[in-house]
Homo-oligomer: A and B are copies of this chain.
Amino acid sequence: MPSSQNAPNINALPSPSIGQYLLDRLHDYGILHIFGVPGDYVLRFNKLIENHSDIKFINTVRENTAGYAADGYARMRGLGVACITYGVGINISNALSQAYVESSPLVAISGAAGVEEFKQQKARHHLINTTTGPHGDRTQLEVFKNLTIDQGILDNPKTAAHIIDRVLHNCLKHKKPVYFELPRDCVDLPLPTPFTPSKHSPHISDPDALKEALSETKWILSKSSRPMIWAGHEILRFGLSQDLLSFAETFHIPIVSSLLGKTVIDEHHSLFIGVYQGEMCLKDVADAFHQCDCLLMAGLLLNDLDTGIFTAKLDQNQRISANQKGLTIGKHHYDIYFSDYIRALKDLSLTKKFHFPVKSRYSHLPKEIKSNENAKTTTKHVFQCLQQFIKPEHIIVSDVGDCLFASADLVLYYNSFMASAYFASLGFGIPGAIGAQLAEPNRRAIAIIGDGGFQMTAMELATAVRYHLDPVVILLNNHGYGTERILLEGSYNDILNWNYTLIPKVLGGGVGIKVETEQAFESALKQALSQRGEFYLIEVELEKLDFSPALNRLGELLGQEINR
């Protein structure tokens, strides 16, 4: 993952333009692709990208899928960029919301009408409200202020470089989306010569506070006999997986992860117990979790899905929570950077190793599943079968619905899972897989999607065809919004059944296979995984009420809540 402390590349002389400086900084941070849809207010910047030797513009079919793809890219690569035009760029709002909620460092860049055009306060296409102030329409900025951690209007060469540095710094510091607005008459304006880029020193915790926190942690652990780590997505986002694992290994502390933090460590590891989600998760995982007497929640958000609709057992004798907001032990709070804390844990001068007798998740896996030649496909079998073929190079990108809940039970390699597991935005699957594949060109994305989510963004497979990407898409066709059928059934949960496997023919690329038996699924999956170069779409025919065991557990919990 690229470091946020890279020195800006300011050697390019003569002084770069605003647009050029922005691209160069993004490239410094590892950006090789920018996703987007062109439009007249952003065409000059599109041209600048086209002329950049190292960054490639990836046309997506529409704006919000550009956002999802850039979000997927950011999750794998540490930063992602979506580029849109003004006004209709507001289509990216949902991707920004998802990135905001799930802490994904996504940069949205929007072209805008020129500063001089704005001054005229005339109504122009794509503008929403031209009478809001002397600078013209600020509606998109006002909207995005709710969905981003920082924003910059790049309308002045004197301030542009500082704003770019600050906004990107905040994006990477908080792992939250940010927004740039670039008026079209400013793209090519040169920065002043010479200019001194701002310095954003790495943030360091108060050494005394950190020392006290570690000392208290040591004392708590020394009294504990069965501590456990519950690791969340922030560990992944902040690149702390190895530090956390070293701590766990040093003292032999078992680990569970949240759903959003799935694959924070290699799930084959002997200390990994499973994904814990309160009453929603596998019984073995819950049983192990319930025995712990001291819980370290690391980089975790306690939302309804991660806690099994708030059924997670949180009455351990001792609870330590370290995340972006600092460190909380019991009822008191330390205002320290959680990265500093996590990194220091492995060096705690604790002499003991724990002997918490729990079995690893991997050891629970059955050796082999036989696919029956005539048995009808079920969600359960799809995931059992998938389990046997997954390799470290695969990245599982799950959409929302049963695909997500069933995915929780897969045993996967380090950093090989992504999903909108908290914001729960349907349709992330395909664009997310496209972003992931471009971020990690040597790996292969396997997207698992229900028919409801698939219909929302299916045609983004066009982008896979255009750029020769080869995700494997497993479409779980249960004929409607399955998750909702459990909650409150009605015709609004039905959707039109498509002949999904004809989509490759429409797009002029990719392979579509429909399967109705276990054997056929296994054979299609083997074929898809063994052949690279084009996308595979495997449609799995399912009964309308075929639910994974995980979805049955969730439905029960949600149903209680919705009918309360």
Contact = CB atoms under 8 A, between A and B. Distances in A.
Interface in A111-132: 114, 117, 122-129
A267 B62 CA distance: 35
Give the copy number.
2
Interface string A423-464: 111110000000000000000000000000001111100110
Contacts of A305: 125
Contact of A304 (B94, B114, B123, B490): B123
A318 B466 CA distance: 56
A497 B492 contact: no
A402 to B, nearest CB: 14
Given A40-B558, A43-B487, A123-B304, A128 B100 contact: yes
Given A93-B91, A506-B502, A50 B184 contact: no
A375 interface: no
A185 interface: yes
A248 to B, nearest CB: 25
A201 to B, nearest CB: 28
27 contacts: A43-B562, A46-B492, A50-B491, A57-B491, A63-B94, A87-B97, A88-B97, A88-B423, A90-B94, A90-B97, A91-B94, A100-B128, A101-B127, A101-B128, A114-B564, A117-B561, A123-B302, A125-B305, A125-B422, A128-B147, A455-B459, A455-B462, A458-B459, A459-B459, A498-B506, A498-B508, A500-B506
Interface of A: 36, 38-40, 43-44, 46-47, 49-50, 57, 59, 61-64, 87-88, 90-91, 93-94, 97, 100-101, 114, 117, 122-129, 139, 142-143, 146-147, 184-185, 301-305, 310, 422-427, 455-459, 462-463, 465-466, 481, 483-484, 487-488, 490-500, 502-503, 505-508, 558, 561-562, 564
Q: Which 3 A-B pairs have the closest CB atoms?
A: A123-B303, A125-B424, A43-B488
